[in-house]
Structure 1
Amino acid sequence: MPGNKGVVYEGPGKVEVHEIDYPGFELKDGPGVNPANVGRELPHAAILKTVATNICGSDQHMVRGRTTAPPGLVLGHEITGEVVETGPGVEFVKTGDLVSVPFNIACGRCRNCKEGKTGICENVNPDRPGSAYGYVDMGGWVGGQAEYVLVPYADWNLLKFRDKDRAMEKILDLAMLADIFPTGFHGCVTAGVGPGSTVYIAGAGPVGLAAAASAFLLGAAVVIVADLNKERLEQARSFGCETVNVALGEPRDQIEQILGEPEVDCAVDAVGFEARGHGSEADVERPATVLNALMDVTRAGGAIGIPGLYVTGDPGASDEAAKQGSLSIRIGLGWAKSHGFATGQCPVMRYNRQLMQAILHDRVQIAKAVNATPISLEDAPRGYHEFDQGAARKYVLDPHGLLSRMS
């Protein structure tokens, strides 16, 4: 049995790479593992050798100490890997398969899974519907920023790349299928983006940039990306986006300068609960700012996709209400304008096969759009630090040096 190393959350602002247990076909006790999941047998699981595993903004919320994540939690929910072992209940996935892992953990058996709502599976998290690898309050499934990782319900969850050589040629793009590409796409679909749409995307981090690339893929005429970070706005412009610097003020006037009118057809929140204010309040945390701004700039009858993360517990929030996930949202404005809202985890399996085809057939260059940057597993602490400082990159961990061989 080989050894295993993983990226471990050690407390606010601190991650380290440690030796961790090699995966087995039983969920063991450990940091963040729900007691009701301890001892759960997993004959339907597969063990993967990790080929690529990405640092996500959602991980960064935990590392900043903005959740109740316990020290010792192995991080990582964006996983691409090669199957090295399968449990006795796995029928169709085979050793040697190169696969993408949806960040949602889903059983494929419950009502929600059967309805395609894999982000809120009822059987994998005893606390509430919905689960993910290496994430706080998600059942305790061990994270995938590691050399090896276990994936339950493998026949259901894994997306196989049938031509391994062809897939490895585009592996940085395909690594985005685990989360941010489907998540950005979902934000656009739920916002109603289509041919000729004008789209406003709040946030030029990796999810926002993935949403922008998705909007173009869906036929948008104009994609406007907003942020406070000049480097990230420059990255958005690199593939055809218009940009709004909200440090200069509310987005409405800047949108009018671009479109000739102050409203858009569709909007996407790719920021979430750590939003900052606009203009003179750009250095102040204002968690409802983005949602209120999107209602302001989205036309009556339009829709707002909200893939940005919001939480029910935020110990680092600036006020008591926000600590419980309660924000001062102008719901009356959204009601008056008949806005549609879509929230929650992206159901990755609804989109990942089609987006895989778009990548393999050169319809999108998602790795280039998000500036995917491979680094070694040992460099994960540096990647987290630079990402937290606002680097306009999507850091992709390379535990076995397989990505470096492709460059």
Structure 2
Amino acid sequence: MSENGNRAVAYLKPGAVEVRTIDHPTLELQDGPGVAAENVGRKCRHGVILKVLASNICGSDQHMVRGRTTAPEGLVLGHEITGEVLERGPDVEFIEVGDIVSVPFNIACGRCRNCKERKTGICLNVNPARPGAAYGYVDMGGWVGGQAQYAMVPYADFNLLRFPDRDQAREKLLDLTMLSDIFPTGFHGAVTAGAGVGSTVYVAGAGPVGLAAAASAQLLGAAVVIVGDLNAERLAQARSFGCETVDVSEGPVEDQIAQILGEPEVDAAVDAVGFEARAHGPDAEEAPATVLNSLMGITRAGGALGIPGLYVTDDPGGIDQDARTGTLKVRLGLGWAKSHRLSTGQCPVMRYHRGLMQAILHERVHIAKAVNATVIGLEDAPRGYAEFDQGASHKYVLDPHGTLAGVRPV
């Protein structure tokens, strides 16, 4: 490892991040911003140290950077990590130094009841505050984020997805880096919404997760995938790989769907927006339940809503007191009357990532192209965050060591 420090992206204050030098990771969780007191000093003999080859900026990170969570100053960001193993702990049996691996954003012990039931998004042993943990995220145990040159991953044998061929992994790294979060998360949204062969699917939100959900619905065999948003550039990106689109500022969504399908309903709907949703219209105020209520209106009776969009328990910037505690005015009566199924929560990445890796390696999907993956240097992270916040239709991939120089989506 470099002797010049470990450069990493840290949350500074609402609207600002900075790249700073932090300590090199060790196989022990140290005290720091956001680290749960009970986790300080936690020894990770089962962990590895990674050289980070790619780490992506996520919309979930953007919620923190906007000041919409209780993230502390100095929190090192980044839960989408792909890397090369530099060091392994004495209890690691199957992961080898030199392996190139994808890191699920869920941190999971592999030992608790939930992990054994493949519910790795709500592991019971990695976060003293609540079920579930993630790297570089507020209230998720304080595990240091991976928007850095080097990172530590605990429970390596269980958590890591090893790519079978190093050369192939490097060649397809821009696609494979999406396996840590947004591709499985979008796929989870499509699966839980009931997307399948011949189905009609509506995806609310044309950000990276929404685009990943749309590509996933296509992979699952959907007949028509419709993506709705206010952002013309992002809607154009959805059309670039065969989706129909709806500009939600141009009239009722159900009317626009009827123009496409001949009926105002779809079989399956995905909420890829989350709690910062706005009422329809370019100057509309926030209305955090508006997407959920809209989707219940346009989903057929007996259909389902997949909800990978983030909802939080604490939102300091919420529009009212209810919104600040994650209490939303959802038309549950409508969903009940239509017998809808609603699926929420963190995606259990390990349920999907191996199969999606195979789809990438065998050219069944081109996820980096679908989400417009765009490589920038680690030091350019503040610019990436600012442009993403302004609605740029890019999935920014940080390249801490120049591994992705010259790589483009294919």
Shorter-chain TM range is over 0.9
**Does the CA contact (< 8 Å) of 1:46 and 1:87 recur in 2?**
yes
Residue by residue over 1:22-74, the C-alpha shift from the partner in whole angstroms, topping out at 9 and shown as x without a partner, is: 00111111100000101111100000000000000000000000000000000
**Does the CA contact (< 8 Å) of 1:69 and 1:136 recur in 2?**
yes
Partner-residue secondary structure (3-state), 2:391: coil
Give me the identity figure in percent: 75
Aligned-pair CA distance for 1:282 = 4.8
Out of 238, 246, 249, the residue aligned to residue 248 of structure 2 is: 246
State the distance in 2 between where 1:360 and 1:299 align.
35
| Corresponding position of 2:79 | 77
| Corresponding position of 2:135 | 133
Q: Is 1:180 the equivalent of 2:182? A: yes
Partner-residue secondary structure (3-state), 1:224: strand
| Corresponding position of 1:293 | 294
State the distance in 1 between where 2:261 and 2:383 align.
40
Q: Which runs of 5+ in 1 are unaligned?
A: none
Residue by residue over 1:67-97, the C-alpha shift from the partner in whole angstroms, topping out at 9 and shown as x without a partner, is: 0000000000000000000011101001000
Out of 142, 145, 158, the residue aligned to residue 144 of structure 2 is: 142
Aligned-pair CA distance for 1:206 = 0.1
TM-score by length of 2: 0.98
State the distance in 1 between where 2:405 and 2:106 align.
28
Aligned-pair CA distance for 1:248 = 1.5
State the distance in 2 between where 1:187 and 1:197 align.
14
| Corresponding position of 1:52 | 54
State the distance in 1 between where 2:309 and 2:203 align.
11
Q: Is 1:343 the equivalent of 2:314? A: no
Equivalent residue letter for 1:90? V
**Does the CA contact (< 8 Å) of 2:174 and 2:407 recur in 1?**
no
Residue by residue over 1:199-228, the C-alpha shift from the partner in whole angstroms, topping out at 9 and shown as x without a partner, is: 000000000000000000000000000001
**Does the CA contact (< 8 Å) of 1:247 and 1:282 recur in 2?**
no
Residue by residue over 1:233-269, the C-alpha shift from the partner in whole angstroms, topping out at 9 and shown as x without a partner, is: 0000000000010111331110000000000000000
Q: Is 1:10 the equivalent of 2:22? A: no
Aligned-pair CA distance for 1:195 = 0.2
State the distance in 2 between where 1:342 and 1:177 align.
21
| Corresponding position of 1:378 | 379
State the distance in 1 between where 2:169 and 2:64 align.
32
Partner-residue secondary structure (3-state), 1:208: helix
Aligned-pair CA distance for 1:343 = 0.2
Partner-residue secondary structure (3-state), 2:339: coil
| Corresponding position of 2:275 | 273
**Does the CA contact (< 8 Å) of 2:17 and 2:65 recur in 1?**
yes
Residue by residue over 1:93-130, the C-alpha shift from the partner in whole angstroms, topping out at 9 and shown as x without a partner, is: 01000000000000000000000000000000000100
Aligned-pair CA distance for 1:405 = 5.0
Equivalent residue letter for 2:267? D
**Does the CA contact (< 8 Å) of 1:212 and 1:223 recur in 2?**
yes
| Corresponding position of 2:210 | 208
Equivalent residue letter for 1:8? A
Q: Which runs of 5+ in 2 are unaligned?
A: none
State the distance in 2 between where 1:393 and 1:103 align.
20
Residue by residue over 1:121-143, the C-alpha shift from the partner in whole angstroms, topping out at 9 and shown as x without a partner, is: 00000001001000000000000
State the distance in 1 between where 2:133 and 2:252 align.
35
TM-score by length of 1: 0.99
Out of 262, 265, 273, the residue aligned to residue 263 of structure 1 is: 265
| Corresponding position of 2:31 | 29
State the distance in 2 between where 1:142 and 1:405 align.
29
Aligned-pair CA distance for 1:275 = 0.2
State the distance in 2 between where 1:251 and 1:270 align.
16
Q: Counterparts of 1:284-323 in structure 2 under 5 Å?
A: 284-323=285-324
Partner-residue secondary structure (3-state), 2:404: helix
State the distance in 2 between where 1:23 and 1:249 align.
51
Partner-residue secondary structure (3-state), 1:234: helix
State the distance in 2 between where 1:212 and 1:318 align.
29
Q: Counterparts of 1:217-228 in structure 2 under 5 Å?
A: 217-228=219-230
Out of 107, 121, 124, the residue aligned to residue 122 of structure 1 is: 124
**Does the CA contact (< 8 Å) of 1:228 and 1:282 recur in 2?**
no
| Corresponding position of 1:401 | 402
Residue by residue over 1:323-373, the C-alpha shift from the partner in whole angstroms, topping out at 9 and shown as x without a partner, is: 000000000000000000000000000000000000000000000000000
Equivalent residue letter for 2:219? L
State the distance in 2 between where 1:282 and 1:14 align.
24
Partner-residue secondary structure (3-state), 1:254: helix
4+ residue runs over 6 A deviation: none
Residue by residue over 1:366-398, the C-alpha shift from the partner in whole angstroms, topping out at 9 and shown as x without a partner, is: 000000000000000000000000000000000
Q: CA RMSD in A?
A: 0.8
**Does the CA contact (< 8 Å) of 1:193 and 1:266 recur in 2?**
yes
Partner-residue secondary structure (3-state), 2:87: strand
**Does the CA contact (< 8 Å) of 2:127 and 2:140 recur in 1?**
yes
| Corresponding position of 2:361 | 360
| Corresponding position of 1:392 | 393
**Does the CA contact (< 8 Å) of 1:33 and 1:140 recur in 2?**
yes
| Corresponding position of 1:198 | 200
